[in-house]
Amino acid sequence: MALATAAGSWGHDVDGQALLAALDALDVDALPVVWDAPADWGSYDLVVVRSTWDYTSRRAQFLDWAASVPRLANPSATLCWNTDKHYLSALLDAGVPVVPTEFVAPGQSYEPPEYEHVVKPAVSAGSRDTVRFCAGQDSSGHAGGLLAAGRAVLVQPYLARIDEAGESALLFFGGAFSHAARKGPVLAPGAGLPHEVEISPRRPTPAEHAVAAAALAAAPGPLLYARVDLAPGPDGEPLLMELELTEPSLFLFTSPGSAERCAEAVLCRLRG
Catalytic site residue from 50, 202, 261, 269: 202
The yes-or-no answer on residue 114 being catalytic is: no
Q: Could you give phi then psi for residue 217, rounded to 5 degrees?
A: -65, -30
What is the full DSSP assignment across 121-153? Answer: ESS-STTTT-EEE-TT---HHHHHHHHHTT--E
8 A C-beta contact, residue 110 and residue 175: no
Q: Is 202 a catalytic residue?
A: yes
Name the 3-class secondary structure at 56: helix
Distance CA 32, CA 55 (A): 16
Closest CA to 74 of 269, 267, 238, 264: 269
Residue 177 phi/psi, 5° resolution?
-65, 135
Nearest partner of 226 among 262, 185, 184, judged by Cα: 262
Contact (CB, 8 A) for 17 and 257: no
The DSSP element (H or E) to which 42 belongs, if any, is none
| DSSP-assigned letters across all residues of 238-264 | EEEEEEE-SS----GGGSTTHHHHHHH
Of 167, 208, 244, 247, which residue is the catalytic one?
244
Strands 47-51 and 72-73: parallel
Strand order in the sheet with 153-157: 102-104, 153-157, 117-121, 131-133
Residue 132 is a catalytic residue: no
The active-site residue out of 227, 242, 260, 261 is: 227
The set of catalytic residues is 202, 227, 244
